[in-house]
Amino acid sequence: MLRAEFAGWVRGSRRFAAFAEVYRGKIRAKLRHARDEGGLRDVRAELVAAAALLSEPGFSLEYEKYAAARTRGPDFTVTFKTHTPFNVEVRRIRGGELDTADAETHTAKLIAVLLDKAGQMPPSIPNVLWLSADGPIDADELAGAVATLRRLAERKDDDYFARRGYRGAADFLGQYQRLSGIVRPVTGGLALWLNPLARHRLPADLAAALGRLRIA
């Protein structure tokens, strides 16, 4: 299925075809090393994001730029209109992570995702977290996750964050401020949430371009 989809993206977009040619070795390696169906779907989520980003004429992509320096970093470094760089980290939320109708459990899963990914955002550049899922991600659940983490950080609950890999609340908050926004799937497209605490905010025209994207 993924092979047919990929071929369709290549046929349908010269820009995606050029991207696939440049990074064919990396893409093949990712597919080869995917251990199960879930791993393949993780790779697919990255390629779906790439296809969507390349549908916007103002965006150009580099795939795993930070890996060359052997540092943990986002999946894509995007340049907007040749002069405004930003990063995009793709995180697929697996079906089993949101397989309950319990909104509180969904919010807890989103909190875990944000805690993991906030620590992956480099400084000195805007960073966007691109959430991928089999269906829409509820806006209220995402807002609840964000509000909970902000409240815990502002309350200086150092133990909570230390148990989750940070030095404390201040360390988490510093990392969280590197997150400029979150893209999430909604019915018919994507929605963008902007972090009011972001150190590097997305320019209005860049945010508008992200808001125009549609999932392949």
Residue 17 lies in a domain: no
The 8-class DSSP code of residue 27 comes to H
Cβ proximity of 98 and 110 under 8 Å? no
Residue 12 lies in a domain: no
Mean pLDDT value across residues 208-212: 94
Residue 32 lies in a domain: no
Report the C-alpha gap between 188 and 15 in whole angstroms.
23
Q: Where are the alpha helices (DSSP H) in 81-138?
A: 103-118
Quote the mean pLDDT of the chain.
Answer: 92
pLDDT at 47: 97
pLDDT at 2: 87
Burial 63-83 (b: 16+ CB within 10 A, else e): bebbeeeeeebbbbbbebeee
Summarised one tens digit per residue, pLDDT across range 37-93 is 989 999 999 999 999 999 999 999 999 999 877 778 899 999 999 999 999 999 999
Count Cβ atoms within 10 A of the Cβ of residue 85 and give its class: 0-12 exposed, 13-18 middle, 19 or more buried.
middle
Residue 19 lies in a domain: no
Largest CA distance in the chain: 52
Summarised one tens digit per residue, pLDDT across range 132-182 is 988 788 999 999 999 999 999 999 999 999 999 999 999 999 999 999 999
Count of CA atoms in the C-beta half-sphere (13 A) of 9: 25
pLDDT at 127: 98
Please list the residues that pair with 70 across neighbouring strands: none
Distance of CA 174 to the CA centre of its chain: 19
Residue 51 lies in a domain: no
**Cα separations (Å) of 25 from 3, 21, 32?**
15, 8, 10
If one counts the domains in the chain, the total is 1
Mean pLDDT value across residues 99-116: 85
Report the C-alpha gap between 166 and 146 in whole angstroms.
17
Residue 160 lies in a domain: yes
pLDDT at 100: 61
Give yes or no for residue 183 having a pLDDT over 80.
Answer: yes
End-to-end CA distance of the chain: 14
Binned at pLDDT 50, 70 and 90, residue 105 comes out as confident
Q: Which domain holds residue 125?
A: 57-212
